[in-house]
Amino acid sequence: MPFTVPPHRLAVLVLAASPLLLAGCGTVGTIPIADDARAHLHVVSVNPVVKLPAEMTYMGPGQAAALMLGGPLVGGAIANNSAATPKAQLAGEMQASHIVLGDIVAAEFARQATDSAGPTRFVVGSAPADARVELSVNAYGVMHAQPFGSTLYPLVNVTAIMKAPDGRILWQATEIAGPLARDNKQGYTFEEYAKDPELLRQVFVAGSDIASRMLADNLMGRQKPQGTPGIQQ
């Protein structure tokens, strides 16, 4: 019988081994927007310059094996070291193919927020607006959903902060589209990503779309699933 690990157990180990994924590291707590502030938003600008971490996250079968056998500390260190080469290769492929994650995140957030907020338009750029959104990617990469599985799904962890023209924070939130997210169904093997980098563009658009949709729901005050970050029940 194949060796499997319950998804929630795997998620706990992955989160423990990857500090950037934790909600308390590089992310912010939610500040809901007041109803009167939301009512006065007609045009919101989205800063096209999105802050990114120094490197991507990679968790494949080899890293999963190290994590399962060595635990979060020892196994996590081994997993991080062994991930250096595939991370560098995928990052190089993205650069060579002009796949700019910041541009993808900004565009997907503006689209999802506009679709969700009715008459309010979210526009990427620096045109005059009623408020401005700053986006930060706290972690991104590709990860498996089950140990020893070869399919790697996108991870996109995004923080959004909306400020009024006078600098007041009107709203802020962090959402994570993780490998176990219910809607996160598009994934490929490492070999497929390396052979066709456009697949990386596709999965990061999909992951950014999921995270942006959750941020838009947060902005509009809609109830969202609760649980482990990156896992939708």
Nearest alpha carbon to residue 160 among 148, 151, 147, 169: 169
CATH number, domain at 167?
3.40.50
In the predicted model, is pLDDT for residue 123 greater than 90? yes
The whole-angstrom separation of Cα 159 and Cα 165 is 19
What pTM was computed for the model? 0.84
CA distances from 92 to 150, 162, 193, 218 (A): 21, 32, 12, 34
- Provide mean pLDDT across the span 163-188: 94
Residue 225 lies in a domain: no
Range of the domain at 172: 7-219
65 part of a folded domain: yes
The pLDDT of 199-224, averaged and rounded, is: 92
Overall number of domains in the chain: 1
Residue 87 maps to a domain: yes
From CA 201, how far away is CA 209, in angstroms rounded? 12
Residue 230 forms part of a structural domain: no
1 occurs within a structural domain: no
pLDDT at 75: 75
Name the band, by pLDDT with cuts 50, 70 and 90, for residue 224: low
At residue 165, the pLDDT reads: 96
What's the rounded Cα separation, in Å, for the pair 181 and 186? Answer: 11
What's the pLDDT score for residue 231? 41
Q: What's the N-to-C CA distance of the chain in angstroms?
A: 27
- At 193, which amino acid appears? Y
| 120 found inside a domain | yes
Residue 98 lies in a domain: yes
Residue 81, classified by CB atoms within 10 Å of its CB into exposed (0-12), middle (13-18) or buried (19+), is exposed
| 85 lies in some domain | yes
pLDDT digits (tens, 9 = 90+) for 34-50: 999 999 999 999 999 99
- Stretch 223-231: mean pLDDT, rounded? 44
- Write out pLDDT tens, residues 48-74: 999 999 999 998 887 877 777 777 777
Higher-pLDDT residue of 202 and 13 is 202
The predicted structure's pLDDT at residue 61? 80
Residue-wise DSSP of 210-221 = HHHHHHHHHHTT
DSSP three-state, residue 52? coil
In whole angstroms, how far apart are CA 211 and each of 33, 74, 95, 176, 222? 18, 31, 23, 6, 14
Q: Is residue 129 scored above 50 in pLDDT? A: yes
Higher pLDDT, 80 or 7: 80
Q: What is the pLDDT of residue 56?
A: 94
CA distance 135 to 233: 26
- % of the chain surpassing 70 pLDDT: 83
Mean pLDDT of 86-94: 95
- State the pLDDT confidence band at 142, using cuts at 50, 70 and 90: very high
